[in-house]
């Protein structure tokens, strides 16, 4: 197939995002990631707390113009499906049965958008909503392999892109951060390096029930929607170091 299975320079990409001083730097970073994953497209789109929209990505500008011209935001199954969910969404699991949805996909493909896609919904403070999407043209089997192998890295990248966009948002006020307890730090760190819950519990010599308490407590302090989001936030805020 040809696309890369992992990006070994992921730490460098994250560091680049953390050092960014202008929103334009997100565009150069997303182009670099698209090339290194060797996929067709990668896109990040957000709506700020005051309703201002910002987007960066690698779609053909003609498709972006067409999308806006046709008002596809109202019928796009990806946007609709992700707004209803908190977890990453494979496009194959969305509802494409409607006439408008099928026409939308046909038009997208005619403009070079791959039929395979994986989108990560992100919710920030004060009603902010964002999407991080990768798409490609390949077989179902190849796409399943790619997304399963890279799911964790893509989720981390999605949240780092969003964090950078929020940091650079005009008039932004910093989010308050509650410190994690030593046990919460240990738990988040082990999860970040890829341990399963059972392995974390065994390593810390605690029950899985106690582990769940630590995870939920850390998730609450971090304002995270799920465990993966909590790990991403803890890393991005320097509360754990992997």
What is the model's pTM? Answer: 0.70
Burial of 194 (0-12, 13-18, 19+ CB in 10 A): exposed
Cβ atoms within 10 Å of 224's Cβ, excluding its own: 18
What pLDDT shows up at residue 126? 66
List of the chain residues with pLDDT < 50: none
What pLDDT shows up at residue 61? 92
**H/E stretch holding 130:** strand 129-136
What pLDDT shows up at residue 225? 78
Residue reference for tokens 């890279």? 150
**H/E stretch holding 78:** helix 77-83
Which domains, from first to last, does the chain contain?
A: 10-167 (3.30.450.80), 182-236 (1.10.10.10)
Q: What is the pLDDT of residues 58-94, one digit of tens each?
A: 999 999 999 988 988 889 999 988 888 778 999 999 9
């Amino acid at each position: 197939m040809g696309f890369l299975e992992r990006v070994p320079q992921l730490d460098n990409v994250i560091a680049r995002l953390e050092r960014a001083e202008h929103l334009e730097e997100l565009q150069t970073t997303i182009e670099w990631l698209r090339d290194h994953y060797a996929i067709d497209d990668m896109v990040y789109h957000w709506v700020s707390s005051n309703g201002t929209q910002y987007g960066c990505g690698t779609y053909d500008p003609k498709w972006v113009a067409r999308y806006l011209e046709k008002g596809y935001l109202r019928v796009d199954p990806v946007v609709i499906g992700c707004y209803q969910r908190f977890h990453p969404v494979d496009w194959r699991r969305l509802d494409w049965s409607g006439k408008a949805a099928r026409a939308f996909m046909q038009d997208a493909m005619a403009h070079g958008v791959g039929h395979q896609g994986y989108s990560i919904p992100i919710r920030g403070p004060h009603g902010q909503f964002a999407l991080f999407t990768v798409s490609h043209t390949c077989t179902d089997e190849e796409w399943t392999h790619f997304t399963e192998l890279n799911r964790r890295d893509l989720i981390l990248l999605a949240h780092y892109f969003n964090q950078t966009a929020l940091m650079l948002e005009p008039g932004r006020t910093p989010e308050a951060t509650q410190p994690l307890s030593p046990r919460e730090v240990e738990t988040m760190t082990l999860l970040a390096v890829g341990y399963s819950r059972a392995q974390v519990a065994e390593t810390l010599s605690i029950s899985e029930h106690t582990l769940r308490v630590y995870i939920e407590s850390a998730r609450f302090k971090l304002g995270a929607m799920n465990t993966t989001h909590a790990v991403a936030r803890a890393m991005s805020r320097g509360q754990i170091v992997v």
